[in-house]
């Protein structure tokens, strides 16, 4: 009886710790690179601040259903920290982003047709077994969203007065 109780205790402690750990601690099989990320061409993104200064980022371009759906899923935190992704949509609408299979936090800016930022949100990974699985989206229809490492928008002083621009390669955005 004593041995069975110890086995159950070990099982419940192990299982309990596993479901309470953040996704980054559980995701040992993350990838530093994958086919979806490689399929995203590089694009130069210009961020014009309200004070007249400007920043330029090199980002991956998610411009089709497959790359937009994949985003940063199953990608290691180090890759997320080093690789912004610009999601471009074929028309203005109100997308909903989730953090399923994403191992690290991400900041996201939703971008109006004019290039103005609709909102900037801090997205958090899900905890396995959690009932709280929020969706993140803009206030109004947008044509793009820019995902970056946590704190980058703050570090660059990017706020709702900023304007984001990019050049989409010809024959792009499905």
Q: What CATH number has the domain bearing residue 106?
A: 2.60.120.1140
Q: Is residue 80 part of a domain?
A: yes
Q: Is residue 174 part of a domain?
A: no
pLDDT at 30: 86
pLDDT at 12: 37
Q: Is residue 48 part of a domain?
A: yes
User: Residue 43 corresponds to which tokens in the numbers above?
Assistant: 């694009």
Q: Is residue 171 part of a domain?
A: no
Q: Is residue 66 part of a domain?
A: yes
Per DSSP, the three-state class of 143 is strand
CA dist., res. 120 & res. 153, Å (int):
8
Q: Render each residue's pLDDT in the chain as its tens digit; 174 residues.
A: 444 443 333 333 333 333 344 444 444 578 887 888 999 999 999 999 999 999 999 999 999 999 999 999 999 999 999 999 999 999 999 999 999 899 999 999 999 999 999 999 999 998 777 788 899 999 999 999 999 999 999 999 999 989 999 987 665 555
Output the pTM of the full model.
0.81
Number of domains in the chain: 1
pLDDT at 18: 39
CA dist., res. 135 & res. 67, Å (int):
18
CA dist., res. 149 & res. 79, Å (int):
9
What residue numbers bound the domain in which 145 lies?
2-166
């Amino acid at each position: 009886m004593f041995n069975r109780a110890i086995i159950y205790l070990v099982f419940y402690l192990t299982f309990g710790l596993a479901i309470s750990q953040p996704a980054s601690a559980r995701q040992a099989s993350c990838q530093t690179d994958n086919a979806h990320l490689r399929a995203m061409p590089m694009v130069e993104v210009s961020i014009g601040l309200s004070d007249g200064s400007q920043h330029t980022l090199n980002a991956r371009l998610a411009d089709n259903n497959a790359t937009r759906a994949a985003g940063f899923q199953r990608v290691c935190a180090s890759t997320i920290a080093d690789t912004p992704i610009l999601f471009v949509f074929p028309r203005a609408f109100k997308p909903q982003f989730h953090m399923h299979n994403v191992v690290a936090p991400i900041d996201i800016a939703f971008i109006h047709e004019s290039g103005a930022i609709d909102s900037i949100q801090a997205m958090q990974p899900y905890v396995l077994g959690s009932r709280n699985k929020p969706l993140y989206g803009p206030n109004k229809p947008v044509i793009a969203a820019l995902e970056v490492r946590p704190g980058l928008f703050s570090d660059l002083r990017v706020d709702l007065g900023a304007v984001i621009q990019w050049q989409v390669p010809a024959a792009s955005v499905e």
